[in-house]
A and B are shown apart, each in its own frame.
Chain A
Amino acid sequence: MRSILSFLLVLGYVVAAHAQAVQVSPVDHNTSADDFAPAPTQNGRVLIISSDKSGRQQLYGMERTSSGWDVPVRLRGDVNDGDMVGAASLTSDGQTMVFSATNHDVEGHGRTDLYMAKKSGGSWDNITNLGGTVNSQYFDSQPTLAADGTIIIFTSDRPGGLGGTDLYISQLVNGTWSAARPLDGANSPANEMGAVLNPDGKTVTFASDKAGGLGGFDIYVGTLSNGKLSNIRAAEAPINSAASEMFYASVPNSNQAFFARTSASGDYDIYTAVPNPFPGDPVTTVEGVVQDITNKQPLGADMVVTDLTTQKVIATLRSDDQTGEYVVTLPAGRVYSITAKSPGYLFHSERYQVPPSAKSQIIKKDIYLSPLKGGGARLLVFFDFDKSELKSESYPELERVIELLRENPGMKVRFEGHTDDQGEAAYNQSLSEKRAKAVADYVVSGGITASRVSSVGFGKTQPLMDGASDEARAMNRRVEMKVVQ
């Protein structure tokens, strides 16, 4: 009996150990030159890499297909207009990139600098230097950007560190990057570089050649909190090895990570690690497509995600100009509004709840925009039960209405109130009229001429969804805005 028990224990251990074993393998299309700094998009379908296979470092993109990774293609646009360009990091929407460049055509502050590029029509342009609060006359390179674009961690050899290259951090405050400072807890007298901030906003991987590693640069993992890195530990073999490893990047909602490792020649190649031992905290990814409601054409739209509880803007992003796709990573267990705007269209706002979850989750949410002429939109406004006074959560949406009317001085709109099927018809009619009028009054109080707005109530006569379910009733309680001129 004891023998059987021992056997089962050993068997269980072996099975468990086998199940946990990390497999490290090179990705397709590595070259004999340096291939490094893999930066996966949120959905893991595209990998931005850096390579000097052309004789100088440039940024390339490679797409995952059913048969593997496509051949890397040099990124289009002004982004690659530098002597050396590479080590990019993407925002969660994949529409903004920070990268480093030596002698870029856009003037810098010294040697290698950090820059930002925007994607438009499939091309990476609108290059801007991140400025003197981040860049210095020294080596400033290898940026990693938080998913919401508000924190940047990068490598610099400027004076004031602990030695060699160190990691620095800067935060975006009111649209301006704060003065970069050494990332507490991460640096040593040796060289630290190649940091990657996980989409969870907390887990940071970086490389260091400090003593005690397996050889060359090794990968370390820490937790970012209040601008400090703590709980730092080294990755184990087979991720770390006698070679140098750096740029360890996790793909959200998957068990995969990418990193760079030197080959026998000293050049870096890109590897994948499965399962990823440092996946970070689970994140919720909301993704979808922004389209014209009339013809379903994809639209590039500027989008804002707001936490409706705190009224704080959580993320600003943009859907892809060509595909209309958007992706945003959000903490679970909260209620958000998402607003999309595109020239020639009415803005669209929607409330949605990201359920609490201990696991990664992907929420699909397509957004349809209505053309300005003759268009209509459901407004994201809130009232207490049985009341017609606007709740303060409604104000951001109403400010967007005011902005829309200011931008289109010839436009006239009508606000239409609707209720659900509960209660007397006459009462609902009155309530819907009052709510629509409350919206109109707010807009007029914002400086819009009263003759440009009108209101009407329809009570429960025009439901969007039949039935008496909670979902149907929630759908039918609404205030809509219609463009009448």
Chain B
Amino acid sequence: MNRSILLLCCLLVTTSLVFAQTEDVLRPQGKPGGYKPLGKRSSVIGIEGGINMGFLSQSITPVNPDFPIAQSPEHVLNSGFGIAPSIGLFADIPLTGTIGIQARFGYQGRTVSNTKSDAIAEASITPNEGLINGSPFTEATVESYYKLVYSSASVSLLGRFDITKQLFVSFGPVVEWRVSDAERSDRVTVLSPDEVNLTVNYLGERVIGKTITRTDTIPQSILPQPASPEASSYAASRVALEFGIGYRYQISNGIYVAPNVRYQYFLTKLTPGFSAIDGSRLYTQGTTQIDFDKTSLNHLAIILQLGFEI
């Protein structure tokens, strides 16, 4: 497979060299010694930097269809958005007058977060130590929040297609490797009523409080209960397809800047699907199994390239 791709690339380059357009306005056969043989663009190397915006989505489905999952603090995990920096190196190698290959190596921060301020969780003053309106528990309004952060390195190999002399689009695969732990910070806070607390159980240790926070490196539910099964780790590497559009502007001879907008759709999901226990209705419904679908995390990047012709 790899040998086939290599052969195809060699064939493309050779073909473009054979049919390289050397004609100019002065000489119909071109300049003796010729212009740069790869046509209208020279090879370019450069650096790039900018921001990438992460868009996370996953569906969460309760086993009990009557369970009000949309009110659960866990539902904060169904989406997320975040902005992180991105830097890298790139090389652009023309194949024909209007087509080239762009190879990139990049280092990105990845961040997404979400806040849900209208979640409902059943809470008590402290477990079994008081009544609220005659009941040992009540529905409390809580805010749940998460933030997922990790860093990655990526390699891209894209086809570049010129639409005009300046405007170009690019398309191709991107492979990303996670180079740090994926740390997810969670926080659940009771907003009202004042006198109640949440109760959760971390691996057998009971935690009671108005605000409960946690940082972990595996995907799981926000309010873990003893029976909550844990999922596998976040993906160590992911593959994406990227579509980009850029505008190449010459700032002086042989030096270019090119603002790019790129959308990366990841074929590899950030997490596999997993099941967990939702304890937000502990007093009335007990624990309920909820199924998390695979986590999609795609990115929109706004990048500025600075390129030097070689």
**Chain A residues packing against B (C-beta within 8 Å):** 34, 36-37, 50, 52-57, 81-87, 99-103, 105, 111-112, 139, 141-142, 157, 165, 266, 268
Contact = CB atoms under 8 A, between A and B. Distances in A.
A52 B35 contact: yes
Contacts of B164: 81, 105
A103 B40 CA distance: 8
Contacts of B23: 84, 102, 111-112, 139
A408 B32 CA distance: 60
A124 B25 CA distance: 18
A485 to B, nearest CB: 48
B172 interface: no
A102 B25 contact: yes
A55 B42 CA distance: 9
A34 B28 contact: no
Contacts of A157: 28
Contacts of B25: 50, 57, 84-87, 99-102, 112, 141-142
B214 interface: no
A86 B164 CA distance: 19
B230 interface: no
Interface of B: 21, 23-26, 28, 31-32, 35-36, 39-40, 42, 97, 164-165, 253-254, 309
Contact of B165 (A54, A81, A87): A81
A56 B25 CA distance: 10
Contacts of B97: 83, 103
B28 A57 contact: no
B310 to A, nearest CB: 11
Contacts of B36: 55
Nearest to A139: B28
B40 A50 contact: no
Contacts of A105: 164-165
B254 A55 contact: yes
Nearest to A101: B25
Contact of A102 (B21, B165, B254): B21
A83 B32 CA distance: 17
Contacts of B32: 266
Contacts of B165: 81-82, 105
Contact of B24 (A53, A81, A102, A165): A102
A111 B27 CA distance: 12
B22 to A, nearest CB: 9
Given A37-B26, A81-B165, A112-B24, 16 more contacts: A34-B26, A50-B26, A55-B35, A55-B42, A55-B309, A56-B35, A84-B24, A84-B35, A85-B25, A103-B21, A103-B40, A103-B97, A105-B164, A112-B28, A139-B23, A268-B26
Contacts of A81: 164-165
B33 to A, nearest CB: 8
Given A81-B165, A83-B40, A83-B97, A54 B253 contact: yes
Contacts of A142: 25-26
Nearest to B167: A105
A50 B28 CA distance: 16
25 contacts: A34-B31, A52-B24, A54-B254, A55-B35, A56-B35, A57-B24, A57-B26, A86-B24, A86-B26, A87-B25, A87-B26, A100-B25, A102-B23, A102-B25, A103-B21, A105-B164, A111-B23, A111-B28, A112-B28, A139-B28, A141-B25, A141-B26, A142-B26, A157-B28, A165-B28
A40 B25 CA distance: 19
Q: Which 10 A-B residue pairings sit nearest by Cβ, starting from the closest?
A: A139-B28, A84-B24, A100-B25, A83-B40, A86-B25, A81-B165, A141-B25, A54-B253, A87-B25, A157-B28
Nearest to B24: A84
A382 to B, nearest CB: 48
Residue among B23, B35, B164, B253 with most chain A CB within 10 A: B23
A176 to B, nearest CB: 24
B292 to A, nearest CB: 51
A111 B23 CA distance: 8
Contacts of A56: 24, 35, 40
A264 to B, nearest CB: 13
Given A55-B254, A103-B40, A103-B97, A83 B26 contact: no
A99 B28 CA distance: 15
B162 to A, nearest CB: 10
Contacts of A139: 23, 28
Residue among B36, B40, B42 with most chain A CB within 10 A: B40
Contacts of B254: 54-55
B189 to A, nearest CB: 58
A57 B24 CA distance: 8
A268 B23 CA distance: 16
Contacts of B21: 83, 102-103
A56 B21 CA distance: 12
A98 to B, nearest CB: 12
Nearest to A267: B31
Residue among A83, A99, A102, A139 with most chain B CB within 10 A: A83
Nearest to B250: A54
Nearest to A191: B28
Contacts of B40: 56, 83, 103
